[in-house]
Amino acid sequence: MSGDHNQFRFSDDGGLKEPDDEEEEQTKTNDLGEEMPYWQTAGGFRRDVIVSALQSAIRRSDEEVASFCAFELVRSGPGYETQMWNRLALICVEDLVAGNEAIEHVLRYEDLAKNRWEDSEWQRRLCAIAATLVAARARSSRATTHANGYFSNTMEDRARAKQDDDHEPLYEPPVTEDDLSKGGRYDVVLDKHTRPGAGHHNRGWEHFRVHGARIGPEPETDHGEKWWRRVLEYDHPDYAYREPEQAFTDEEIDHAVEPTPKDDPWRCGFDEDADLDEFDAQGE
């Protein structure tokens, strides 16, 4: 689950495989002056356990434990530091809420550490601690990891059900083939930008502008709504600056700029009795 090339792996006999660290070719010593094997940090801790503690501490917003683990890894050598930075980047997408700004700070601190100061300089430890504090203070969430696991299992289960008539899938994926078909829940996505929409259903700009381009649940910005209304008003045979246009009614324009419903963003309340093809392109 990691893009960390220096992450530890286990061999067939259960032992810990040595990571590919260039500096490990040289003999290193720990705080006690003893030879330090690749799996040990300068303080005598197990390297893999310290890395795990770093990630677990950030998940739990424990700033002190997380900061110490980052400090311990960086001072143990360049390979350890690289592993720490790789793990911090992974943590930002695996353990923190999507949309947080931690990754920007982590990458900036990494750039500062690696390009401004030499290996083993104390400033690099400060960069690592600062980046770790940013991550530990961000809101924790493993939603991305859970989504990946749920979607992966669901699609494997779906494939099994297609191959085995006796197997009943536990869950259906959030989007099914029926949902994406004409008349399905997500019918609106079959617009002019898709082969089924443009080819089979002859949907053009009119359909896309009235239905496909809607946003929600928050309304468009004031300027955005004004400009969008004016774009739709220009879609008129009297102007037709880009292509032959079909004039929209005031009702259609109001619907185009109206936010999608919060409780069901795919529901189209424009006309419960009308089919979306009512707004298909003419002559496209």
63-116 pLDDT, tens digit per residue, is 999 999 999 999 999 999 999 999 999 999 999 999 999 999 999 999 999 989
Domains in the chain: boundaries: 22-137, 187-279
Interval 198-211 mean pLDDT: 90
Give residue 20's pLDDT band: very low, low, confident or very high (50, 70, 90): low
Q: Whole-model pTM?
A: 0.78
Task: Give the mean model confidence (pLDDT) for residues 167-194.
Answer: 95
Tokens representing 253?
């324009």
Phi, psi of 29 (to 5 degrees): -120, 150
Residue recorded with tokens 């083993």: 120
CA-to-CA distance for 104 and 93, rounded, in angstroms?
12
Q: What is the mean pLDDT of residues 265-282?
A: 61
Report which DSSP code applies to 263: S
- 126-157 burial code (b ≥16 CB/10 A, e <16): bbbbbbbbbbbebebbeeeeeeeeeeeebeeb
The pLDDT, as a whole number, for residue 3 is: 45
Of all residues in the chain, the percent with pLDDT exceeding 90 is 72
Query: Kindly report the CA angle at 271 between 270 and 272, in degrees rounded to 5?
Result: 120
**What pLDDT does residue 4 have?**
47
Mean pLDDT of the chain: 87
Task: For 22-137, give the CATH class.
Answer: mainly alpha
pLDDT number for residue 284? 39
